Amino acid sequence: MTRVALIAHDEKKDDLVDFAREHAAQLAEYDLIATGTTGGRLNEETNLDVDPQASGPLGGDLMIGAEVARDRLDGIVFLRDPLRAQPHEPDISALLRICDVHDTALATNLASATFLIEGLADQERQ
């Protein structure tokens, strides 16, 4: 089964919830994990079943990175706030590095997230 991680900085959590609603039919086909607060919001505000890991400040992003290192993720959507990221929020550097090492797709904005989800759907149909 396709497995996708969802992460969002505080200022982007609303955008990720909206994205998840827009792509709910496709995302419902996937095994979804997320950092703690983001996963909690997705579970509460969408009909998706998301497995929340620890919150970002407590290492949730590192837990997701470990899943990439174990080849257990097909992609990550990490909606980051490039202008106002707070010190307590997950840093994309480590995730970017591990995704590059393991050739795992990482989307950092809504446009690339859409391509990632559509690309995974196309892969499943082949």
Q: Which residues are catalytic?
A: 61
According to the annotation, is 39 in a ligand binding site? no
Tokens read off for 111: 């446009």
According to the annotation, is 2 in a ligand binding site? no
- Whether 87 and 15 have beta carbons less than 8 Å apart is answered as no
According to the annotation, is 55 in a ligand binding site? yes
According to the annotation, is 40 in a ligand binding site? no
- CB contact set of 3 (below 8 Å; sequence gap of 6+): 30, 31, 32, 33, 67, 72, 73, 74
According to the annotation, is 60 in a ligand binding site? no
